[in-house]
């Protein structure tokens, strides 16, 4: 290791040489040996965040868990094929999300010290995930290989080969918000632990394959032309139509509220910045190192979207239901406090949600629509970026 306390104590830390040479896991060990400083704490929190993502890729690679077309956080990241994969097992998704929750929490702990005046530079194109766990950076293991599919639409080709960002205290708030978002997703999955349902669905697939024999002709019935999609729906419906774990539901809610709070903090810190130096997400008068220019009212419109989300989580705005005729709807705060199984039939009919319905102001899609109009076809990309 060549990371030293004297380097860590400097006002600006260049994290690129260490990360690119030894990888994420050993970078964490090196950073943990140094005394806390705001820059070191951001570096440690950031690398813990990335290592948490790396661990999900490693576990998925070991079992060739590609999850088809599921557009879900962490699970949607592309994965190279493993010719020597171990068999898939039903608890894999639960193990993945248990790790995500723990790793995001560890990143948050480090990021609490990342305040004040500091800078951490990192060339994102030099970051790599040791997906096959052989200790070296192989083809297809860079951060840009994992995230480049999304970023590639927005970035010039040359920036996919060199992209240095100078992260500061505002970015610490942004990253903290992102860890809360991923931790919330992890708690949601764990609340409806799909292990037993995955085992049941896989057992059914095996038994039906045995019954039909090797010479059966594949037939398409109605819209059921994609077996994986049908199986994914069966798992999702089967897991969510069971009593959820209340502790995980409450943790999901609390993390989503913390995400909104940290997002507001990010925009306040960006507005106070005097510099314009290789920015990650630019504020007014700044330019992103990604070469992406934000519309002037991005902050206001995005925070309006998050305020709607916060109001829903707190029960200040209700979610409309067709039977209420615009006079009221579902109080999500009450539903999250005392959650029940997600029964689509009774929820749509109303019986399954009647105890959570009340009169009051309804949320609408006005703020979200304004945000989407501002970014036109790239709204989803910017929503992921801004979290």
Whether the per-residue pLDDT at 87 is higher than 90: the answer is yes
Yes or no: say if 195 and 225 are a contact pair by the CB < 8 Å rule.
no
Report the C-alpha gap between 87 and 90 in whole angstroms.
10
Instruction: Supply the pLDDT for residue 9.
Output: 41
Mean pLDDT, residues 277-281: 87
State the pLDDT confidence band at 5, using cuts at 50, 70 and 90: very low
Q: Which helix or strand (DSSP H or E) is residue 165 part of? A: strand 164-167
Instruction: Supply the pLDDT for residue 378.
Output: 63
Whether the per-residue pLDDT at 326 is higher than 80: the answer is yes
Instruction: Supply the pLDDT for residue 156.
Output: 58
State the pLDDT confidence band at 362, using cuts at 50, 70 and 90: very high
State the pLDDT confidence band at 171, using cuts at 50, 70 and 90: very high
Yes or no: say if 81 and 102 are a contact pair by the CB < 8 Å rule.
no
Report the C-alpha gap between 328 and 349 in whole angstroms.
15
Report the C-alpha gap between 103 and 178 in whole angstroms.
12
Instruction: Supply the pLDDT for residue 139.
Output: 86
Mean pLDDT, residues 209-232: 70
99 or 292, which is more confident? Answer: 99
Specify the 3-state DSSP secondary structure of 188. Answer: helix
State the pLDDT confidence band at 296, using cuts at 50, 70 and 90: confident
Report the C-alpha gap between 23 and 135 in whole angstroms.
8
State the pLDDT confidence band at 220, using cuts at 50, 70 and 90: low
Instruction: Supply the pLDDT for residue 226.
Output: 65
Residues in the chain: 387
Q: What is the pLDDT of the chain when averaged over all its residues? A: 88
Which stretch of 220-229, 234-243, 277-286 has the lowest confidence by average pLDDT?
220-229
Name the one residue in this structure whose structure tokens are 């007014």: 284
Mean pLDDT, residues 114-126: 94
Instruction: Supply the pLDDT for residue 150.
Output: 52
Please provide residue 119's backbone torsions phi and psi, each rounded to the nearest 5 degrees: -145, 135
């Amino acid at each position: 290791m060549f990371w030293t306390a004297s380097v860590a104590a400097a006002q600006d830390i260049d994290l690129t040489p260490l990360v690119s040479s030894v990888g994420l896991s050993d970078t964490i060990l090196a950073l943990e040996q140094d005394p806390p400083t705001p820059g070191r704490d951001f570096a440690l929190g950031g690398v813990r965040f990335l290592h948490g993502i790396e661990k999900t890729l490693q576990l998925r690679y070991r079992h060739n868990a590609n999850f088809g077309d599921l557009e879900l956080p962490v699970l949607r990241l592309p994965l190279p094929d493993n010719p020597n994969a171990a068999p898939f097992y039903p608890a894999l998704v639960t193990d993945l999300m248990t790790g995500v929750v723990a790793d995001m929490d560890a990143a948050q702990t480090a990021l609490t010290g990342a305040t004040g005046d500091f800078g951490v530079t990192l060339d994102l194109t030099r970051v790599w995930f040791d997906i096959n766990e052989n200790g070296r950076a192989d083809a297809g293991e860079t951060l840009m290989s994992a995230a480049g599919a999304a970023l590639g639409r927005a970035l010039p080709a040359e920036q996919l080969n060199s992209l240095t960002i100078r992260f500061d205290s505002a970015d610490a708030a942004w990253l903290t918000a992102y860890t809360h978002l991923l931790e919330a997703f992890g708690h949601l999955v764990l609340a409806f632990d799909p292990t037993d349902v995955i085992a049941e669905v896989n057992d059914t697939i095996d038994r039906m394959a045995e019954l039909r024999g090797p010479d059966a002709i594949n037939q398409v019935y109605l819209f059921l032309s994609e077996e994986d999609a049908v199986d994914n729906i069966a798992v999702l419906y089967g897991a969510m139509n069971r009593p959820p774990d209340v502790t995980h539901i409450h943790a999901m809610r609390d993390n989503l509220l913390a995400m909104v709070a940290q997002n507001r903090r990010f925009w306040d810190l960006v507005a106070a910045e005097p510099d314009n130096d290789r920015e990650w997400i630019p504020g007014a008068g700044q330019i992103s190192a990604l070469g992406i220019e934000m519309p002037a009212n991005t902050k206001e419109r995005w925070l309006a979207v998050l305020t709607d989300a916060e109001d829903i989580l707190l029960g200040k705005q209700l979610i409309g239901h067709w039977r209420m005729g615009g006079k009221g709807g579902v109080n999500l705060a009450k539903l999250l406090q005392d959650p029940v199984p997600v029964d689509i039939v009774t929820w749509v009919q109303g019986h399954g949600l009647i105890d959570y319905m009340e009169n009051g102001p309804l949320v609408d899609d006005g703020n979200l629509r304004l945000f989407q109009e501002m970014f036109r076809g790239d709204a989803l990309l910017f929503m992921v970026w801004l979290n």
